[in-house]
Structures are given as C-alpha cells and as structure tokens.
Amino acid sequence: MPIRQQNVHAAKWSANGDGMGAPDLTVSDNQIFGENVFSSAVQRQRLPRDVYRKLSLTLARGEALDTSLADSVALAMKEWALEKGATHFTHVFQPLTGLTAEKHDSFYAPTGEGTALAEFGGKELIQGEPDASSFPTGGVRATFEARGYTAWDPTSPAFMMENPNGALLCIPTAFASWTGEALDNKIPLLRSMDALSKSAIRALKLFGNPTAARVFTTVGPEQEYFLIDEQYYFERLDLVTTGRTLFGAKPPKGHELDDHYFGSIPERVLACMLETERELARLGVPIKTRHNEVAPAQYEVAPIFENSNTGADHQQLTMQMMQNVARRYGLVCLLHEKPFAGVNGSGKHCNWSMGTDEGENLLDPGDTPHENLQFLFFCAAVIAAVNKHQGLLRASIAYLGQDVRLGANEAPPAIISIFLGAELEKVFNAIEQGEVGESTPESFLGLGTPVLPPLPMHGGDRNRTSPFAFTGNKFEFRALGSSQSLSLPNTVLNTIVAESIDYLAEELEDALEAGTALEDALRPILQRSYAANKQIVFAGDNYSPDWHAEAESRGLLNLLTTPDALPYLLTDDTKTVFSNYGVLSQRELESRYEVLLEQYVTRLNIEAETASAMAKTMLLPAAVRHLTMLKAAELGDLAADVEPMIGQLATAIKGLVSANLEENQPHDDMMKHARYLRETVVPAMDAVRVAADALENVVADDLWPLPKYSEILFIK
C-alpha cells in the first residue's frame, strides 16, 4: 500500500450499525433499560405469587435458597427466553483467568418422533457441570480431574445476549470443584460480602440500629480504555498478541496540550459509545458517564453504584460489550493498562462504600462529621484495615500490565496510602489530640460575576495521585488496572474491613458493658485506632520522590512489581483474616497465588518472544534495507550514523534471544522464574526497544513496517 494511504483509509468512516436515531424517550415503549434482563419486575409478572415472594425475601435477607422454587423459576425463565428467540442457555462463570467463561446448551432435545421439545428445569438452572478442567486452578484440582460445578447465583439476574443469528440465555453462576472449593472469583466475593454484613450489623446495633438486617458493599467502577482503528491494530503483532505496543517512538505530540481531555468526542467514537451504552442499558447495566480521557484516543465510561456482586458481573459484561461493539465501527477497544509508552495508562477506579438494606450509607459523614459517631467508627475501621493489610491490598491488584502502569502518567504509585481530605483529616487529628473538634461551616465559591451562581465549596480538594481516596461518601480505590476483574480487590476490601469492624466493635462492646456512655466509650477507641494507623494517611503528591522516602520512613510498603506483591497473599495475617471469616481457605489462597504468578510468567514470556520475533523479522530487516539504500546513494555520512544504531539493535536482539532460551530460565520454582524474567528478560526487552525506537526516527518512513504512535493515536 502506498505510503500513508492506510491513514486515509483509516480516517474514512460513515455511519453504520443499526442507525438507531433519536427516539422519543417520553414514550414508554422506547424505554429499553433492562429489557433483556430477567429482572425482579419480570419475575413478578411471570412467577406464581408465592414463589416470587419467597424468592424476593431470600435475596433481600441473604438467606439460603429454597431449591423447591427452582422448577417454577426455570419454567418462567425458559418461556421468557424462548419468547425472545433464545435457542440455548449457558451458565456464565468467572474462572481465575480474570475473564468470563461459558458453555452453551440447547433448550431443545429430540423426542424420538422426529421432533424436538424445549426442556429446561430446576436441575439445569441450579447446577451445571461444564468440565472446564483446563482453567488454571493453582493445584486445587488436576487437569485429569474433570468434574467441576457451576451453581446458580440468584442475586445476579439472568440476561439475554443477542446475536444477528439468534439469542442466548445467560445465567450468572459460581464455579466450584468437586470438593466444594472455589475455582472462581464470584464465590469468595459473595462470602466476603456476607462476612462484612455480619460485622457491620453487629456494630450498627451498638449505635442504636436494631432494624437493619443486611449491609451491602457497593461498587462504581470508572473504566478507562483506548479506541484505535482496527487497521492499525491488525498491523501490530504486539497489540494482537499482548494487548500493548512493545515498540514505538515518542511522537512529536502526545497529550502535552491537554486538548483531548474532556474534549468533544469524535463522531465515530461517540456513535460507538452510544451503541455500546444502548446494548448495556438493555442488559440492565446503569451507565452514567462518558468522556474523553487525558491521552489521545483514550476514553472513560462509568456506571451508577450497584452492590459488589452485581457490579462485578456488570463490569465483566461492560468490557465484553465494549470490545464487541467497537468492531462494528472499525475500531478495537484496548483494555491493557499501558498500551502505549509515554502516554497515560488506563485504570479502573473502584468507588467502594457500605450501605444498609434500609438505604443508609455508612460512609456518609453528613454535614457535621465530627459529631457523626457512627460514620467515624466505620471510617476508622477502613483506615485501620488498609494500614494493616496494605500489602494484601497491593497484591490484589498485582498484574503484569500494572507493572508498567503504576507510578506514572496519572496512575497512583505502588505505595498504598489513604487520602482523607482536609476536612476529615482535621476531624481525625482533633480526635487523636483528645479534642472535640468541629466541622468547617459550608462556604461558597464566589466566581466574580453575578451572572454565575455561587457554588458550594467542598471541605477538601481531591487528590488524583492517591491510590485510596475518600471522596465524599465513599472510598475510591484508584489503583485497579483497566483489564482487571473487580472481584479480588473487593473481596479483600470486604474481608479486611469486616475484621477491622469486629476489632473496634469488641472494644466498644466492652466499654458499653462497663456502663460507659456511647460517645465517652467511642472517642478513646477512635483516638487509639487513628494514632496507631495514621501513617497510612497522606494528603500530598504521591508522585513526589520525597513521598517515597517519607513512606519508607513511615514503614509503608513499596511493592513495585508483581513478584514483590504476590507473596502478601500468603502471609500469616492474610491466611488468618481469610480463614477467620470463611472467605478463602489456605488451599484456595495458595491456588490464587500460584495462578497469578503463573499468569505473570506466561504473559511476560509471550511479550518477550513477541518482541524478539518482531525485532528479528521486521525491524532489523527494515533498518538494514535503509542502510543499503543510503550506501547505494553514496550517502556515507548518513550511513555511518545509522550503521552503529543497527549494530546496537542486533546486539540487543542477541541478548533478548539468549534471555529467552529455555535452558537459561529457572523452571524448578515459579517465583524464581518470575524474578528471572523481571531482572533479566525485561531489561533485555527494554534494550531492544530503545534501539528499535531510535531507528524508527531515522529509517525511511516507507520502509518502517509498523504504524507509528502519531498515526494510531490521532487518526480517528
């Protein structure tokens, strides 16, 4: 293809898709939210009244499911699905790959008379046996042991996935081994939600609330991602096989001008977003926000808060739908944490809170947080939990993509710390000093012209560099990676906070039983707790080298890479907290450690082999052809400049090939292997990249075989 013609081709786009137009949203028939969900409203219409009532009470109270209801639910679900054109059903589950998995089974079975009959009963609804023996289990079961079960999760509604050639009923399920051990991310998350609920209900009774029956944790993930033209994607072997560019020189323009951030959304991108949001709305995913992010070709989408289990399921569905719909517009959705070097990476900010079944947000400070004893109790519990288990929290987001993202370009550092905001930090400092303290009266921002209204002034600014920040009535765990599942980080948060609540509640119970008034009993408890854990609180610039030195002096952990962080999954404190709350057994914990470590090694091997192959077969030959052209043109000075650069690339390639050799890698111990890759292979890859990126800036444009950043990121 002639030079730059592919850019012209990529820039051309005309409206496609379903041409949905702009329907009148005041007409009820045009309201599509949840139309493909077997929701509570659908269940109310289709289930016998007593069955619906029992099922609703079961879900509201978090009690055990009465399996006698299953046949009635299955019949209603089948009829609903068949009316929508479904021919198959599947149990959707979340294995330890971080993705979702499914096996499709037909509703129809032959009758022996040359016809078929739709069959789907309670047995098929409640339990499936997908085999799925090749998924990573970290030693919980061997590959030859095929039996694994999926179990219906009635708390996450079934939904319909449509295809141009049919429809599929999807039933969210858990995935367990024959021995009952969790092989997925859902079971530990549900266990952790139960654990936190029990602990929080115990504490609420001490504050005079005997009526709350259940506490739910909620999540609201802000998903960042890139959209690039699919032509460039398929011309980049590194993007196809690893999700990120392993080569690419810094373009003349990146995001220095901030002209993309919150800018007008390009027409093709907006059309893609609108269709994605429409499809998600039909699946009951409550998307609220969309905007351009900082990096060119980077965007963000965020939903309204949901309970942690449903929110985690919907987040997996959101990532899948974003990738599917993008292809209809000639785009590819990149979810890697750092697809392009030198520009912002992508995270998934997880907004986390706790609320009762009566609608009370336990992390809402109210107008006078210094007087809100219940809020201060739960907030102090979170601070203590994050401080005690900072290594575990960091391990929950450990991933190869995070190793190249954390600590740069708007990603928080690997050091876990908490930002409370000026107002709340002032309250806790006063408590530590034994003072009553007070809240700052609400003030307003005067904008200097009567045309503009006065705006309420918040008690503290935000801190975009903080990995764990209080943001009004929730904590925002900003350190999650964009491709990661919400389940493990939220499982960790729920469990460690449950432990911390119980610790403080026990102290408070003892004081109240001794006849001390609530406020008098609570203040010394909060004082001791904050004094013991305040080292985790930091309000400054988390990027500053001074903070790294200060964090070390405070005793905070700086776990820069995945091999540094993962061992905190197996510490005594981790084993104790997960065991005490029945969330993960030691065997289940060890399995996750093994799986995450194996994934790190495998993914890094893929990156290294891909980089080696591209450098040897694409980049080095292009550079040599350029050198030959210069010599043929008798441009000796230019050839003399290029020849040592080629030699540097050739030497670096030899180093990477040697590092990649099987015989040079330690295979007897997975952690040794991971550290070898980090300490030997990664520097070898970096050396190849440095040499190749330097050549990209001098080799003739029509000879360079890869689309450049200036094309991939800016041609929309």
3-class secondary structure for 545-596? HHHHHHHHHHCCCECCCHHHHHHHHCCHHHHHHHHHCCCCCHHHHHHHHHHH
CB 320 within 8 A of CB 280: no
Asked if 192-442+458-584 and 598-712 have one fold, the answer is no
| CATH architecture, domain defined by 598-712 | Up-down Bundle (1.20)
Tokens standing for residue 573: 């404190």
- pLDDT per residue as tens digits for the range 268-318: 999 999 999 999 999 999 999 999 998 999 999 999 999 999 999 999 999
Higher per-residue confidence, 26 vs 548: 548
Q: In this structure, are residues 424 and 369 in contact, taking their beta carbons and an 8 Å threshold?
A: yes
**More confident site: 144 or 3:** 3
Residue 29 binned pLDDT confidence (cut-offs 50, 70, 90): confident
The total of other beta-carbon atoms located within 10 Å of residue 24's CB is 7
Residue 12 has pLDDT above 90, yes or no: no
The rounded mean pLDDT for the chain is 89
Residues in the chain: 716
CB atoms inside a 10 Å sphere around CB 644? 9
Which pLDDT value is given to residue 9?
Answer: 74
Q: Which of 137-146, 421-430, 487-496 has the lowest mean pLDDT?
A: 137-146
SS (H, E, C) 682-705: HHHHHHHHHHHHHHHCCCCCCCCC
Tell me the helix, strand and coil percentages in the chain, rounded to 5: 45, 15, 40
Return the DSSP state at 259. -
Domain boundaries, the chain: 34-184, 192-442+458-584, 598-712
Q: Are 445 and 408 in contact (CB under 8 A)?
A: no
Q: Is the pLDDT of residue 160 over 90?
A: yes
Query: Which tokens sit at 219?
Result: 């999540």
Beta-bridge partners for 524:
none
The answer, yes or no, to whether residue 455 has pLDDT greater than 60, is: no
How large is the average pLDDT for residues 320-342?
Answer: 95
- Answer whether residue 686 shows pLDDT above 90: yes
- The residue that leads in pLDDT, 119 or 34, is 34
Tokens of residue 5, six digits: 């013609």
pLDDT on residue 132: 60
pLDDT band at 442 (very low <50, low <70, confident <90, very high): low
Check: CB of residue 224 under 8 Å from CB of residue 300.
yes
pLDDT for the residue 126: 85
User: What is the secondary structure of 304-317 as a DSSP string?
Assistant: PPEEHHHHHHHHHH
Angstrom distance (rounded) from CA 383 to CA 365: 15
Mean pLDDT of 368-380: 87
Both tokens of 66, joined, read 């009465």
In this prediction, residues 522-526 reach a mean pLDDT of 93
pLDDT tens, residue by residue, 247-256: 999 998 877 7
Q: How many Cα atoms within 13 Å fall on the side-chain side of residue 385?
A: 24
In percent, the amount of the chain with pLDDT more than 90 equals 67
Structure tokens at 33: 């939210």
pLDDT tens track for 590-647 = 999 999 999 999 999 999 999 999 999 999 999 999 999 999 999 999 999 999 999 9
- Whole-angstrom distance, CA of residue 683 vs CA of residue 655: 10
Confidence of residue 54 (pLDDT cuts 50, 70, 90): confident
Cα–Cα distance for residue pair 669/623, rounded to 1 Å:
39
Count of Cβ atoms closer than 10 Å to residue 99 Cβ: 13
Does the pLDDT at position 1 exceed 80? no
- Give the per-residue pLDDT at 162: 93
CA distance 218 to 213: 16
Distance CA 202, CA 206 (A): 7
Q: 595: number of CA atoms within 13 Å, CB side?
A: 23
pLDDT in the model for residue 30: 74
453 pLDDT above the threshold of 80: no
**Interstrand relation of 166-177 and 86-92 (parallel, antiparallel or unpaired):** parallel
pLDDT at 564: 96
Max Cα separation, the chain?
A: 97
Structure tokens at 545: 């080298």
- Tell me what pLDDT residue 303 has: 94
What percentage of residues in the chain have a pLDDT greater than 70?
Answer: 90
Class of the CATH-defined domain 192-442+458-584: alpha beta
- Contact (Cβ atoms closer than 8 angstroms) between residue 686 and residue 247: no
Model pLDDT, residue 203: 97
Q: Is the pLDDT score of 411 beyond 80?
A: no
Least confident of 172-181, 393-402, 534-543: 172-181
Q: Place 388 in a pLDDT band, splitting at 50, 70 and 90.
A: very high
pLDDT at 408: 59
User: 10 Å Cβ neighbour count for 498?
Assistant: 28
pLDDT at position 459:
53
Q: Quote the pLDDT of residue 462.
A: 66
The residue with greater pLDDT, 145 or 381, is 381
CA triple 538-543-544, angle to 5 deg? 80
CATH number listed for the domain at residues 34-184: 3.10.20.70
